[in-house]
Structure 1
Amino acid sequence: MAMAAWKRVGVCLTAAAVVVGLAGCQDGDDGGSKGSKKAGASTEAQTRDEAAEVLQAAFKKTSEAKSSKIRMTIRTSGTAAETGSMEMSGVQGWDPAVMDVTMKGSGFAAGGAGGPEQTRVIMLDGVMYVDLGAEQAAGMDGKRWMKMDFKAVADASGDPEVQKQVTGGLENMNQDPAQQLALLLGSPSLKHVGPEKVDGVEAQHYKGTLSFKEMVDANTSFDLLSKKERDELVAMAEKSGMKGYDTEIWVNEDDLPVKMVVGMTMAQGTMTMTSHFSDYGAKADVQAPPAGETVDFMEMLKELESLGAGSAA
């Protein structure tokens, strides 16, 4: 019983780690078209200011779109336990942040036999729902969805630091392409690479690098931290060997990102997130599963505590 419950919790935590780890005003059509013309004006490298002007137009258009279809691959390399890949595809929305995606990959293999090879994840209103699959549902009175309310998890900890971290995580949850554009605009090395085709569409390729400190300074979610906490976070990242973030973005003629690649290098290894976007503006009609089909994550943890962490199935 306890081992099966831990497996369900493990699946939920794997999905949460992916979602949280990724873990967005338009001033008129003139802004967008102006950016497109400059993007296609030359195959030579543009100055940083010209590149920033194009990405600013893309940021505005993307913010206004509020949703898109997404296809993402996350690859990690380092120690044997960390090397692997995860794939995610579905629909996401921002302002407000919602998500309905299917995840699969090596991260779910840790659950062992009986765990799902892939899982559907729904996220809205700061709550994540993970489909544990029919086999796991058999041990939960047919309830196949596990509900994780991130605010409830933070409050249950009773630790102000944990609560602050989770609140910041919610700000970053479901990182949309507009936010990534905003971060790249803060890169001092931003440049235009040139035109390329992405998924059969003509696009302009931009790239830049941010140090961890520059990323923290550009990301508003870290405003919750005091200067001392921010300095400690930066020092910790630098001590871990964090080299920074390498970001590449491909923008189509409509001033919308069609592809993003974000790479991070640390002493322990590397992580690369490759995202493809399409169907901007399509309604992200994300609905929570029926309450009668869900099991609360916190209730599951209480059940495990009552059984004893060392119990087996």
Structure 2
Amino acid sequence: MVMAAWKRAGVCLTAAAVVMGLAGCQDGDGGADKGGKKAGASSGAQSRTEAAEVLQAAFKKTSEAKSSKIRMTVETSGAAAEAGTVEMSGVQGWDPAVMDVTMKGGAFAVGGAGGPGQIRMIMLDGVVYMDLGEEQAARMDGKRWMKMDFKAVADASGDPEVRKQVTGGLENMNQDPAQQLALLLESPSLKHVGPEKVDGVEAQHYKGTLSFEEMVDANTSFDLLSKKERDELVAMAEKSGMKGYDTEIWVNEDDLPVKMVVGMTMAQGSMTMTSHFSDYGAKADVQAPPAGDTVDFMELLKELESLGAGSAA
């Protein structure tokens, strides 16, 4: 019984780690309301000012769209290679942040035998719901959905640091392409690479790099930290070998991003997130699963604690 409970928790925690690892770096004030050149209109190299104008126009257009379909691949290397490759596809919305996606990949094998090959994930009102499949449902009284309220988990920890980390992670969880555009606009190395075809459409390719410290300064979710805490966070990142964030964005003729690549390099390895966006304005009518089909992750943690105490007696 103890092992069964830990297996259920293992699948859930693995999925949660993947979700939090897909956090996008957001900036609530990176866009401007002035128009820019059409992304597909330039055949020659653009100056930094021209590139910024295009991305500002894309930020405005993307912000107004509020939703899109998304297809993402997350690849890791180095010491984090056990996470392998995770693929995600579905629909997302921003303002407010919602998602209804399916995730699959080697990372879920950590849940052990019987773990689902793929997981449907719904995010709504800061709560994540995960469909763990029929085999896991058999271990949970037929309830196949796991509810993970990260704020509740953080509050239960009683640790202010955990609470701050989770709050920031929740704010960043959805891959909001508008906010990624805003972040790229903050890069001092922003440049126009040139025209390229992406998924069969003409687009303009832009890239830039931000150091970890520059990312923290541009990311409003870190505003809840004091200066001392921010300095400690930057120092910790530098100690871990974090080199920064490399961002590439392809913008189509309609001033909408069709592809983004975000890369992070650390001493223990690297992670690359490649996202493809389509159908901007697609309906993102995300609904929570029925309460009767849902198990609260907090209750599972209490069960594990109880079982642990009982086995130790």
Q: Post-superposition shift, 1:129?
A: 0.5
Counterpart of 1:61 in 2: which secondary structure?
helix
Partner in structure 2 of residue 182 of structure 1: 182
Residues 171-229 of structure 1 show CA distances to partners (whole Å, capped at 9, x for unaligned) of 11113101111110000000111111100111110000111011111111011111111
Matches of 1:268 and 1:92, distance apart in 2 = 31
> How do 1:233-252 residues align onto structure 2 when only pairs under 5 Å count?
233-252=233-252
Q: Which amino acid aligns with 1:180?
A: Q
Matches of 2:115 and 2:67, distance apart in 1 = 31
Matched, 1:291 2:291: yes
Gaps of at least 5 residues in structure 2 are none
Counterpart of 1:260 in 2: which secondary structure?
strand
Matches of 2:108 and 2:169, distance apart in 1 = 22
Matches of 1:233 and 1:27, distance apart in 2 = 29
Check whether the contact 2:74–2:86 (CA below 8 A) recurs between aligned residues.
Answer: yes
Q: Post-superposition shift, 1:22?
A: 2.3
Q: Which amino acid aligns with 1:278?
A: S
Judge which range, 83-92 or 255-264, deviates more.
83-92
Scaled by the length of structure 1, the TM-score of the pair is 0.93
Partner in structure 2 of residue 120 of structure 1: 120
Check whether the contact 1:144–1:294 (CA below 8 A) recurs between aligned residues.
Answer: yes
Q: Post-superposition shift, 1:237?
A: 0.6
Q: Post-superposition shift, 1:5?
A: 1.8
Matches of 1:162 and 1:93, distance apart in 2 = 26
Matches of 2:213 and 2:310, distance apart in 1 = 42
Q: Which amino acid aligns with 1:35?
A: K
Check whether the contact 1:171–1:221 (CA below 8 A) recurs between aligned residues.
Answer: yes
Matches of 2:22 and 2:309, distance apart in 1 = 30
Matched, 1:35 2:37: yes
Partner in structure 1 of residue 217 of structure 2: 217
Question: May I ask how many residue pairs the two structures share in their alignment?
Answer: 306
> How do 1:152-301 residues align onto structure 2 when only pairs under 5 Å count?
152-301=152-301
Matches of 1:80 and 1:18, distance apart in 2 = 12
Matches of 2:46 and 2:283, distance apart in 1 = 35
Matches of 1:27 and 1:104, distance apart in 2 = 37
> How do 1:53-92 residues align onto structure 2 when only pairs under 5 Å count?
53-79=53-79, 82=82, 84-92=84-92
Counterpart of 2:57 in 1: which secondary structure?
helix
Q: Which amino acid aligns with 2:301?
A: L
Check whether the contact 2:40–2:202 (CA below 8 A) recurs between aligned residues.
Answer: no
Counterpart of 1:282 in 2: which secondary structure?
coil
Matches of 2:186 and 2:252, distance apart in 1 = 21
Q: 1:94 to 1:116 in 2, by over 3 A?
A: same
Percent identity at matched positions? 88
Gaps of at least 5 residues in structure 1 are none
